[in-house]
Amino acid sequence: MTDIHNTAIINPKAKIGDNVSIGPYCNIDGDVTIRDNVTLVSHISISGSTTIGENTKIWPFSVIGSEPQDLKHNSEEGKLIIGANNKIREHVTMHSGTKEGGMLTKIGENNLNTDQVWLLTRPESDSQRVLWMDDKPVKLRLIEEGFVNPD
């Protein structure tokens, strides 16, 4: 049974799967698809052309699917696809793809995105990865750990 908190705001065009929990103050706007057994804890913004895979859990204050933080972005409509079984912790941002990256940001399955991660707008992330913040710039950390190519 899908459970939607009465303070959540959901665009009628959004496609919501079975057994989804949408907590307080979540805002879902755009061409959004939320697959079965997804949990949105609270205070989450999901927008754009975004798909969230089965059994994914997203914690508060995450921003999912909004326009890329890229000066070259010119209002093109990209997509964000998040695979199944992901854990997206507090304050994570995942943006839609850019023209340079084929208009698609794709996240694999079984990933843990820890607190305050900003996911680059062009990755095609493999499965079973852990992304985190530390004292190094995020792009440098992702290059060192083999998540993205340095170019």
Indicate the domain borders of the chain.
3-128
DSSP at 37:
T
Phi/psi for 53 (5° steps) reads -70, 165
pTM > 0.85: yes or no = no
Q: Give the pairing type, strands 79-82 and 104-107.
A: parallel
Res 25 pLDDT > 50: yes
What DSSP line would sit under 97-118, residue for residue?
Answer: --GGGTTEEEE-SS-EE-TT-E
CATH (residue range 3-128): 2.160.10.10
CB 64 within 8 A of CB 38: no
Using one digit for the tens of pLDDT, what is the confidence trace for 76-106? 889 999 999 999 999 998 988 877 778 888 8
